[in-house]
Amino acid sequence: MFIPMLAINHLRCEYKVNPIGLDVKSPRLSWQLQSDQRNCVQSAYQIQLSLTDCHEQTVWDSGKVISDQSIHVELAGWEPQARTRYYYRIRVWDAAEEQSAWSAAAFFEMGLMDSKNAWQADWITSRPDEHDTACPRLRTTFELKQEVTCARIYVTALGLYELHLNNKRVGQDYFTPGWTSYGKRLQYRVYDVTDLLQAGGNILGAYLGDGWYKGHLGWKKEKRIFGDQAALLLELHVHYADGTVETLLSDGDWKTASSAICMSDIYMGETYDARLETDWTDNTSTRWSPVDVLEYTKDIIVAQENVPVTRVQELEPIALITTPQGDRVLDMGQNMVGWVKFNIEGEQGHTVELRHAEILDHEGNFYTENLRGAAQSIRYTLKGEGVESYEPHFTFQGFRYVKLIGFAESINLDDFRGVVLHSDMERTSDFQCSSPLVNQLHHNILWGQKGNFLDVPTDCPQRDERLGWTGDAQMFIRTASYLMNTGPFFTKWLRDLQADQGEDGGIPFFVPDLRSSTSEGWGDTSHSSAAWGDAAVICPWTIYEMYGDVRLLAEQYDSMKRWVHYIHEQGNNPYLWNTGFHFGDWLGLDSKPDSYIGATDKDFVATAFYAYSVSLVRKVAAVLGQGEDEAYYAKLHDHIVTAFREEFVTPAGKLAVPTQTAHVLALHFELLDAKARQRAIDQLGKLVADAGNHLTTGFVGTPYLNPVLSETGHHDLAYTLLFQEDYPSWLYQVTKGATTVWEHWDGIKEDGSLWSADMNSFNHYAYGAIGEWLYRYVAGIRSDEKSPGFHVVHIEPQPGPGLDWVEASLDTMYGRVGSSWYRRKNNEMEVHVTIPANVTGTVVLPGVSLQTVMEGGLPLHKVPHLQGVQTKESHVKIDLGSGSYHFTYKCVEESEPVTIK
């Protein structure tokens, strides 16, 4: 007798595997179902919590809950206790009432819970010296009284910290506690240090770095924007076998000393003198002096929200180059973000230097002018004791090329490795196709995200900027959420956005904001540009669609409304936005000479995004059950659309702004009536054709260009834009050797010369938003806003000229979705589809008549388990449940069906 398999795996709590240090009152659990049967749907679940992994001490049992919900399930009616680990297991029932076995146990551990009142420790710091750039060390010693069962460190810092316990580094995280809106929010981290403790005496120490808190930030060469003293706040809780708990606190009894890190700065790099190294056990009395206790609030401290920055991989240099100017330069083969670790041997006191750059100029020389004020330099002085190994601590570089200064004449490439650092987001997708150039483009988009998602979504990772620009983030967020699990990453960043939102509802250009923390300020035009400030609405809505996160919508709802209210209060007409500073279609190719702003009227852009944000807030109100708000925003949206048409559409139905971006926004945001819409569709095709089948869009228009073309009957034209290899195009950069996405379409010009050095990043992800089109349209994997998180998945691949096959996958919260298509001989098509358990889907097969479609060798009407089949024009729509499917058919020009082999 055949017994179907039903199992539970991929358990998560708040997106994470076995998280430690949660401060949420109602933790949410997610899990995935596995089944060897099609149409597997969960009908009920049961969750048990225990204090042990073998579930001998059950503290809560949900009982059998009739529900198909398997993501973000709140533990209703149960309250966790601070500093407590809970093990959980789950079992489910399917629609046939088949019961799974219990899942393997997973766990989550609570943090301090009440940060305002829970902290007993003091802020401690080294005595300030404004002329001293060295990173101080702080240290204490302690004795263990008896056998330890578990131990936790709760820690945060003003600046950055690196912990060491008994001469071993604590944790694998970097740039902790991360960059938040200091003064309003500061994260703390929890470490399990049970295995690092030893019987008898122990030594606990920390390095402190300037980081974003007091190091260089922004292009004004400012320091100490958020504060002028790095400080540590730490508690070690040791649990003994007899049930007692001992707590070690940062306080005035700690000692401080200088370190071998003479300087470490996010922009400038690091200077390290190995001759100054001392072991943490060194007790020379003249080295260690008392710390200062710093009076600083603890009310702003929150638990770690984002995934930490970690070393994700290492790259080997592919070549050692001698440039025409005689420089010796390592080529890492990839524009990356992180640092170089190296081995070296030499005389005591000899200093070597590594400088970092993204490109070589047209003559092949080392090029750093585009770094502006960021030195990106590592200086290391040898202690002269055999082979020495080094890598930096509190800095990161954006680079492909590394200039070596002071190294021996003979260079061994094996002595160097590039350490890639970014927020440890889970990779969730893959895309491969028949075009090597498009595959390289996808690679570049992915590495653009790796390089710029280092705790905050930065615009660029190399020059004196590296700020969390809101516009760039909202333009790329959907592509980012295909490529990696960005749920925790954007949850943390959006909380900072809300914290930095002005009292009037305005949104800073970048988050965390520098404007409110610096004495000079950033001027009256330092916030609230259209398309930038709209990140307050677009980003949480996108996370909701991609991950089904209703809680984040509820958290951000007030911020969204305040942003819309801010716009509503601008100018004399509450339904147009025609005042204030705006970036417009930033870097649009139709701009005037010596201007960064494209030709699309800025009032047009502002009002279009105003309408779009209001439409999304209306949807959010509906999701949250806010009926009155939903009606209000629906009415407001109608007024804005009417005002938009009166202002920007002629009586004959023609858009008054004759640019590609204007037509793209009007169509994508659904701002036109039927007559004007068709005219805009036709005109957009003409505008692209008039540009030689090239784009002229900038930051605002480019993310929507190909999706709009595909949605409005110009799908082949979208493919044409994709496959252009001359300037301006995505593949132009690829043909120029790019390994990440550029800030400018012509960062390197066709003659090899370079765009202006003042703003020419070669790792700038905004134009990588084309990745969304590759997944949503070319591969055809789409979410459903009415059943978010891919609980209902739509697969509608759209082949086009230039590709023979595409293979794509996406790991959703429910499991892996797959969509692949292949052109075969004789006009045959194959489409492979995978739908995870507890998910339903629709598949739309293009260019086919119903009579020719086969699945598993059978005509559709004979295939069991399909939930519905419809035909419309030359498309067939199939409703189905979970499972793997293999469709074959002849395109509409052919007549005979194809069977599967």
Q: Write out the catalytic residue numbers.
A: 465, 743
Q: What are phi and psi of 812, to 5 degrees?
A: -85, 180
CB-based contacts of 642-650 (< 8 A; 24+ apart in sequence):
642/575, 643/573, 643/575, 643/576, 643/607, 644/575, 644/576, 644/607, 644/608, 644/611, 644/671, 645/671, 645/672, 645/673, 645/676, 647/576, 647/603, 647/607, 648/601, 648/604, 648/607, 649/676
Q: Per 3-state DSSP, what percentage of the chain is helix, strand, and coil (rounded to 5)?
A: 25, 30, 45
Helix (H, G, I), strand (E, B) or coil at 33: strand
Q: What are phi and psi of 47, to 5 degrees?
A: -120, 135
Tell me how far apart the alpha carbons of residues 339 and 393 are, in angstroms, rounded to a whole number.
9
CB-based contacts of 627-633 (< 8 A; 24+ apart in sequence):
629/561, 633/564
Written as one letter, the residue type at 334 is Q
Decide the pairing of beta strands 301-303 and 269-273.
unpaired
CB 798 within 8 A of CB 846: yes
Partners of residue 139 on adjacent β-strands:
205, 255
Q: How far is CA 423 from CA 148, 175, 452, 457, 500, in A?
A: 32, 10, 9, 10, 22
Tell me how far apart the alpha carbons of residues 477 and 616 are, in angstroms, rounded to a whole number.
15
Taken in order 573, 574, 576, 577, the sign of the CA dihedral is: positive
Tokens representing 749 are 């010009």
The number of residues in the chain equals: 901
Tokens representing 241 are 């076998």
Residues 6 or more apart whose Cβ sits within 8 Å of residue 683: 654, 655, 658, 663
Q: What are phi and psi of 10, to 5 degrees?
A: 50, 50
| Edge-to-edge strand list for the sheet holding 858-859 | 429-433, 805-811, 816-823, 828-835, 883-890, 854-855, 858-859
Half-sphere exposure (Cβ direction) of 433: Cα atoms closer than 13 Å: 24
Residue closest to 374 by CA, chosen among 199, 217, 572, 519: 217
* Distance, C-alpha 48 to centroid of its chain: 32
Tell me how far apart the alpha carbons of residues 93 and 116 are, in angstroms, rounded to a whole number.
42
- b/e per residue 444-477 (b: at least 16 CB within 10 A): bbbbbbbbbbbbbbbbbbbbbbbbbbbbbbbbbb
Q: Cβ of 288: how many Cβ atoms within 10 Å?
A: 17
Decide the pairing of beta strands 377-381 and 359-360.
unpaired
CB 780 within 8 A of CB 795: yes
Strand boundaries in 62-111, DSSP class E: 65-66, 73-74, 85-94, 106-110
Half-sphere exposure (Cβ direction) of 526: Cα atoms closer than 13 Å: 17
Tell me how far apart the alpha carbons of residues 530 and 705 are, in angstroms, rounded to a whole number.
18
Q: What are phi and psi of 122, to 5 degrees?
A: -105, 150
